Amino acid sequence: FGPFEPTNNTDLTIDVLLTQYVSDSPPPPSSRIEGVLTNFDINFADIITITFDELRFVKEDNKKLDVHVDIPDDGIKFGGPLKFLNELEKYLDPASFADPPVLDISPSGVTVGYTLMLPPLAVGVLTLKDVGLGAALSLPFGGGPEDKMRVRFNLSERQAPFNLAVMIFAGGGFFAISLGADGLEVLEIALEFGGSASLDIGVASGGISVMAGFYFKLERNPDRIELTAYIRLNGYLSVLGIINISVEFYLELSYKEFPGGKSKLTGRATVTVKVEVLFFSASVKMTVERKFSGNADDPTFSEMLEPGDWFEYGEAFA
């Protein structure tokens, strides 16, 4: 498993029971394998350390693999750049791994995990709501270089971000980190923030909103970095409910770094205008995209096609 850290009380027990019946018409032989490993730690690059009281596997014929993970109440510790997350330890429930809501068993390994919705958190004028705290532990069965223990922690998800409010401003975001036995694998952070205002004078009403945010992703093996910053402006105007006009402006700047030191910086601007008059409506969308700098150009035709593939392609039309 990589950085396996035994203690003075670490114990490994493997019991194998093979049963063969002897009779004129014996039933098929049966087997039962049980493995128990107790009192040990797994250290993920000094960033997350998990203490296990017990890890148990039981496999019987014609039955699904039974996995039991027992982690003490203080068994999850954050370190290094994630030390600030130790404030969330009181919300972590390691006991959920013993009877987890998520249990995925496959020929390659087993994954156990859970997601816990936290109550609203208020820190001064800042309020956090809809925060989902998730944890997952993956244990491989194989012994190859790709078979590594992995752990993932997240605050909400990209498809279900938390809500952040500071006075009249609001936004949202998420945070996720995946660690393997040899260190960091994936780190994702996103945050969006902005405000809005509206006006209604009876015969006409309108409003405007401004949102800005960023998304950062760091991935190892292969090394990839992605950083996107954007701003979105929306405005609308309604006259007696008969004439409705809405305008959206979206500006995005994206930086991507690829293996080999190559990188690409691109910008994209989109303007969308929609007009509704009674039963008539029309919408126009214009997009401009430019690559400002970088050396990770899109692959050429010759780079994508091998000589043998090209000859085969040409013979198909001969």
Pairwise CA distance, residues 63 & 83, whole Å: 41
Q: Percentage of residues in the chain with pLDDT exceeding 70?
A: 82
Return the DSSP state at 25.
S
**101-155 per-position pLDDT tens digit:** 676 767 677 777 777 787 887 767 778 888 888 888 787 776 666 677 788 888 8
Question: Which pLDDT score is estimated for 116?
Answer: 78
Residue extents of the structural domains in the chain: 203-318
Q: What integer best gives the mean pLDDT of the chain? A: 81
The pLDDT-based confidence of 15 (bands split at 50, 70, 90) is very high
* Residues pairing with 284 in the sheet: 273
Residue 1 has pLDDT above 50, yes or no: no
Pairing mode, if any, of strands 132-140 and 162-166?
unpaired
Q: What is the pLDDT of residue 244?
A: 93
Question: pLDDT tens-digit profile of 289-317?
Answer: 988 665 545 556 666 667 777 777 777 77
For 36-94, give the secondary structure using H, E and C.
EEEEEEEEECCCEEEEEEEEEEEEECCCCCEEEEECCCCCEEECHHHHHHHHHHHHCCH
- Domain at 203-318: CATH code: 3.90.1150
Q: What is the pLDDT of residues 22-66, one digit of tens each?
A: 887 888 888 999 999 999 888 776 777 888 888 888 888 888 778
**pLDDT higher at 93 or 82:** 82
Q: What is the pTM of this model?
A: 0.61
With CA atoms as reference, report the closest residue to 241 among 211, 206, 210.
206
